[in-house]
């Protein structure tokens, strides 16, 4: 904007606009909201824009508000004839007119398209790129059996990205492997539903449930099975005990034996527990894939 011949107030208005809109738009997508205190529709739209901007802050979106009564020259430069008027600004230029989008869903859909088209990456993308190798390292350490060290790394990742489901699930599994069942349960119980239902967290919850099975002397169970191989209750308890001992092979064998002898026993309890065992191991794990093939062979032959 040219400043020649402007009053001091107008120069200050331009400076504010450059600080609040132009400069941020060099690296972010700025939602520019023209409004006024007396404007009823503005008061309805304002909270929606604020929520969207908050939700999309990590994606590279910022909100700037221009009071047309206080910043008449800025409004005139944008030829604002009615309010609310809303533009998307990027690198100092309007890239979209968002005025007709009034609902949260409509605005977010428009922003998603703009962010993709303009290839804008916010802090979320940067954090994700940073934590991805850390998660891989923590998983590898956990696989080698150093659960406490893995837990420390997963906790560091969670400090960087508190809602990252992979970090949360990994931390819980590391706590379970370290015998810290109470801490793992407390962490899971405190998660909001939208995070607690994610696959990575469901896997961790399955691992906790299996590890929570009380350890028992299996000799009496073995004796019962020797006397009666169709004692499914004893075999089911034996499988649980083997899970608690970390003997996944024997646990899987016993559960599949129940399915082989009576797949509908106790409303399919053996098959359900077997699938829980696979989930705790990780459904993409090669061992789990092999076990699923064993289950399929029993069910479909």
Q: Which of 39, 74, 184, 201 is catalytic?
A: 39
Dist. CA 171–CA 96, nearest whole Å: 43
Task: Look up 182 and say whether it is catalytic.
Answer: no
Dist. CA 262–CA 240, nearest whole Å: 18
User: CA nearest 121: which of 20, 23, 29, 49?
Assistant: 29
Task: Look up 42 and say whether it is catalytic.
Answer: yes
SS3 assignment, position 250? helix
- Preceding omega of 173 cis (within 30 degrees of 0): no
Dist. CA 92–CA 22, nearest whole Å: 5
Q: Which of 14, 32, 42, 241 is catalytic?
A: 42
SS3 assignment, position 8? helix
User: CA nearest 164: which of 205, 194, 119, 207?
Assistant: 194
Which helix (H) or strand (E) segment holds residue 207: the answer is helix 199-211
Exposed, middle or buried, 24 (CB in 10 Å: 0-12/13-18/19+)? middle
**Within its chain, how far is the Cα of 212 from the centroid?**
26
Other Cβ atoms less than 10 A from the Cβ of 132: the count is: 12
Which helix (H) or strand (E) segment holds residue 29: the answer is strand 29-35
Dist. CA 187–CA 76, nearest whole Å: 54
Strand partners for 66 = 34
Give the residue numbers annotated as catalytic, written as ranges. 39, 42
């Amino acid at each position: 904007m040219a400043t020649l011949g402007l009053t001091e107030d107008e120069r200050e208005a331009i400076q504010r606009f450059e600080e609040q809109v132009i400069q941020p738009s060099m690296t972010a997508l700025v939602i520019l909201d023209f409004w006024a205190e007396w404007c009823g529709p503005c008061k309805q739209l304002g909270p929606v824009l604020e929520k969207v901007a908050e939700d999309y802050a990590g994606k590279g979106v910022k909100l700037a508000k221009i009071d047309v009564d206080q910043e008449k020259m800025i409004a005139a430069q944008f030829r604002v004839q009615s309010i609310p008027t809303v533009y998307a600004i990027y690198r100092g230029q309007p890239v979209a007119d968002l005025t007709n989008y009034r609902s949260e869903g409509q605005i977010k859909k428009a922003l998603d398209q703009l962010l993709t088209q303009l290839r804008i990456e916010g802090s979320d993308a940067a954090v994700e790129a940073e934590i991805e190798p850390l998660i891989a390292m923590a998983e590898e350490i956990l696989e080698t059996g150093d659960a406490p060290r893995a837990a420390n790394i997963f906790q560091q990742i969670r400090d960087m990205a508190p809602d990252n489901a992979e970090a949360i699930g990994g931390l819980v599994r590391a706590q379970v492997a370290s015998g810290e069942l109470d801490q793992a349960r407390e962490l899971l119980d405190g998660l909001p539903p939208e995070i607690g239902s994610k696959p990575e967290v469901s896997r961790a919850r399955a691992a906790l449930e299996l590890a929570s099975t009380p350890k028992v002397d299996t000799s009496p169970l073995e004796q019962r099975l020797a006397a009666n191989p169709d004692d499914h209750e004893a075999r089911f308890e034996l499988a649980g005990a083997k899970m608690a001992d970390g003997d996944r092979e024997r646990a899987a064998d016993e559960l599949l034996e129940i399915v082989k002898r009576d797949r509908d026993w106790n409303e399919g309890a053996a098959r359900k527990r077997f699938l829980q065992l696979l989930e705790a191991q990780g459904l993409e794990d090669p061992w789990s894939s092999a076990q699923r093939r064993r289950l399929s062979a029993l069910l479909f032959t």
